Amino acid sequence: MSNKVRFIDTQKSEFFATVKKRVDTYFKENNLSKNANAAMWGKAIFFLGGTVILYSLIISNIFSPGVMLILAILLGMFAAFSAFNIGHDAIHGAFTSNPKTNKLLGHTFDILGANAYVWSITHNVVHHTFTNIPGHDEDIEVAPGLIRLSPEDKINKIQQYQHLYAFLLYGLASISWVFRKDYKKFFQKKIGNYDNSKHPKKEIFNLFFYKAVYYTLFIIIPLVVLDITWWQFLIGFVAMHLAEGLVLGLVFQLAHVVEGTDFPMPNESGNIEEAWAIHQMRTTANFARKSSLANFLCGGLNFQIEHHLFPRVCHIHYRTISDIVKATAEEFNLPYIENETFGGALVSHYKMLKKFGKEAIEQTSANKNVATA
């Protein structure tokens, strides 16, 4: 099988051209920018300001260890929400029309411990192009060997329990990101189908510089200024990251590994024989589309369909254009996969963990018994 994946639109679909024209018309007729509006800037100030305030309260050293633990958990959650609502849009070039402003806002990722440059490759380029394609989309390769998130992954016995322990491992995602993932991805020769062997020298400097900034802000300074023991610091640091990692992990997984989404494999020639936009409709799901709270917190990631089709449109507009996308999908007889609530999406993901874990192992065992009978 070819290592390169190509999308061959064998049906000559007009879906994307039609939905793009309708979305463009919506912005033009309403005289709206596709970038941030006042409400979006308000969200950015709220989440970034909240993150700074929580950090400042912790290092003020005026609270008891118990209160600081609660503040640390809130800080982890605000860090995740800041990444969703600010850094994510900025790195996509969707927050403003000014590249320099987007670059500056994208550095919120770096300050919070995740490398913006690496994210732009793994997420913007690889994940958005090869969504849910096993062996190419590394977003569905979470803790390989422990968590199985596609039908093509190898099966081992421990995965029969993955629906019980996966959520705990999701909580470790943030710690892995800060100490391991970015370094591994940066120096990995290939990420899926992407040649990752060459990087600008500036980005090598930025990787280590911003990691040092993060370690200074979140490890060295707290250890120096806070009147707590090392183990109390460690509890607070881990609790912060567990909260952050769980929020990050759940939101990302509920967008692609739920009932109804596909995990297509290219043919022997390396082709996915449908248009890229239709591939996105089959591999991506929304959740809590009409929930004001989810829309406020998730930075548009609960509108994953709209985000994948229009990554350079600021997420503040997704709720409105989702009606256009859904109607157009129905017109073209394409799936529009969504769970009406966050809880419904969570249950759906849980079922997929059981399907790819316990149920797959049981089916494999049954097939072996039949073969040997």
Confidence (pLDDT) at 288: 96
269-287 burial, b for 16+ CB within 10 Å, e for fewer? Answer: eeebebbbbbbbbbbbbbb
User: Which residues fall within 8 angstroms of residue 174, CB to CB, at 6 or more apart?
Assistant: 76, 79, 80, 113, 241, 242, 244, 245, 248
Distance, CA of 237 to CA of 231 (rounded, Å): 10
Work out the pLDDT band at 3, boundaries 50, 70, 90. low
Q: Please list the alpha-helical segments (H only) found in the chain.
A: 15-29, 38-59, 65-82, 88-91, 99-111, 116-119, 128-129, 162-171, 173-176, 182-186, 201-215, 221-225, 230-253, 276-283, 292-297, 304-309, 318-331, 342-354, 360-372
Work out the pLDDT band at 327, boundaries 50, 70, 90. very high
Average confidence (pLDDT) over 230-248:
96
Asked whether residue 34 carries a pLDDT value surpassing 60, the answer given is yes
Asked whether residue 1 carries a pLDDT value surpassing 70, the answer given is no
Confidence (pLDDT) at 371: 65
* Structure-token pair, residue 337: 């996969």
Instruction: Note whether 150 and 140 are within 8 A (CB).
Output: yes
pTM of this prediction?
0.92
Asked whether residue 309 carries a pLDDT value surpassing 90, the answer given is yes
Average confidence (pLDDT) over 322-326:
98
- Between the CA of residue 290 and those of 85, 87, 236, 296, 343, what are the distances in Å? 18, 23, 35, 11, 13
pLDDT digits (tens, 9 = 90+) for 337-353: 999 999 999 999 999 99
Confidence (pLDDT) at 77: 96
Confidence (pLDDT) at 370: 65
* Structure-token pair, residue 169: 């491992």
Asked whether residue 369 carries a pLDDT value surpassing 80, the answer given is no
Average pLDDT over the chain, rounded to whole?
Answer: 93
Instruction: Note whether 163 and 358 are within 8 A (CB).
Output: yes
Q: By percentage, how much of the chain surpasses pLDDT 90?
A: 83
> Which of 49-58, 88-97, 188-197, 233-242 comes out lowest in average pLDDT?
188-197
Work out the pLDDT band at 68, boundaries 50, 70, 90. very high
Q: Residue 139 has what DSSP assignment?
A: G
Average confidence (pLDDT) over 214-236:
96
Q: Write phi, then psi, for 6 (nearest 5 degrees).
A: -125, 145
Asked whether residue 226 carries a pLDDT value surpassing 80, the answer given is yes
pLDDT digits (tens, 9 = 90+) for 104-159: 999 999 999 999 999 999 999 999 999 999 888 888 888 888 999 988 888 999 99
Confidence (pLDDT) at 194: 86
- Looking at the DSSP bridge assignments, the partners of residue 347 are none
The structure tokens 């607070």 sit at 236
> Which of 230-239, 263-272, 286-295 comes out lowest in average pLDDT?
263-272
Q: By percentage, how much of the chain surpasses pLDDT 70?
A: 98
* Structure-token pair, residue 113: 């411990």
Work out the pLDDT band at 372, boundaries 50, 70, 90. low
